Amino acid sequence: MKTLFLGLTMLFFSSCQVTETLVINSDGSGEITIEELRVENSYMKLAGENYSREDVFVDTTTVFKEYIFKYIENYLKYLPEERNLFDRYNDVLLSTKKSSFDKEFIDQTSLAFKEVSAIPDLYKAKNYADDIKFNYALTAEKHYYKVQYEFDGTTFKRKVIITNENLLQEQQEQIDLIIKKIAGQNLIEEYVLRYQFPRKIKSVSNSKAVISSDKKSIHLTFLLTECLRNPESTAVEVILENKI
């Protein structure tokens, strides 16, 4: 499975469900996980006879800083500001399982953080790891938007910032073609945000958000094609009730 923002055509025709899960504790620490899951029923419709011909098995888990240690000569070739960027990902955990026998294809990127502002753009983590491994230029900088998080104890913000308008337009044109090709096939291609907070929620900026019965978590679902076509639509602000 390709990463989220590179190889878009293959991503859509693989049919994926992407889930971003964020848990914030009362002290502001927490954990975030991004899971990219290939939906087998949808993928089988698109792959046809090639589905039964797959022959792959990968099962790896690596901490990002291990790439730095292993490929230290490559790492030291980067500019200081580029190395500082990589260092923000030191504790990010990268896991991949691809099994054609079990028909299970999952990529996970996760991080335990001390404060929300320390969360880097995890959608770029795999690209940066490959950059260090293969001594590439910063390929993740070719993404057309970035994701940032803020939390001041009461207000949480998931911010999405467009970084390349020209590339965004190019991707929108490709996505429009893909939408036409998969129309009517009833494929699952979801992008899901699952957020849990330490106190009850007072308000959510997106009216489609489903708030849990205890009012401490939200669930938001988008079409993967639509949120990649309009990334800013996945931005959200959540305001918590005041501390007692």
Residue 244 has pLDDT above 60, yes or no: no
- Cα–Cα distance measured from residue 137 to residue 66, given in angstroms and rounded to the nearest whole number: 19
What pLDDT is attached to residue 51?
65
How would DSSP label each residue in 186-206? ----EEEEEEE-SS-EEEES-
- Cα–Cα distance measured from residue 127 to residue 146, given in angstroms and rounded to the nearest whole number: 13
pLDDT, greater one: 55 or 199: 199
pLDDT, greater one: 149 or 51: 149
**Helices assigned H by DSSP within the chain:** 8-14, 40-47, 64-70, 72-75, 80-87, 125-134, 165-182, 224-229
- Cα–Cα distance measured from residue 5 to residue 229, given in angstroms and rounded to the nearest whole number: 11
The domains of the chain are located at: 8-52+105-127+140-240
Residue 88 has pLDDT above 90, yes or no: yes
| pTM recorded for the entire structure | 0.87
- Cα–Cα distance measured from residue 1 to residue 5, given in angstroms and rounded to the nearest whole number: 11
The continuous run of DSSP H or E covering 59 comes out as strand 57-63
Q: What region, left, alpha or beta, does residue 36 occupy, with left being phi > 0 and alpha being psi -120 to 50 degrees?
A: beta
- Cα–Cα distance measured from residue 24 to residue 196, given in angstroms and rounded to the nearest whole number: 6
- Asked if 101 and 89 count as a contact pair (C-beta separation under 8 A), the reply is no
Residue-wise pLDDT tens digits, 199-218 = 999 999 999 999 999 999 99
Residue 1 has pLDDT above 50, yes or no: no
- Asked if 4 and 38 count as a contact pair (C-beta separation under 8 A), the reply is no
Query: pLDDT class for 100, splitting at 50, 70, 90?
Result: confident
Tokens for 3, please give them. 């990463």
- Asked if 26 and 106 count as a contact pair (C-beta separation under 8 A), the reply is no
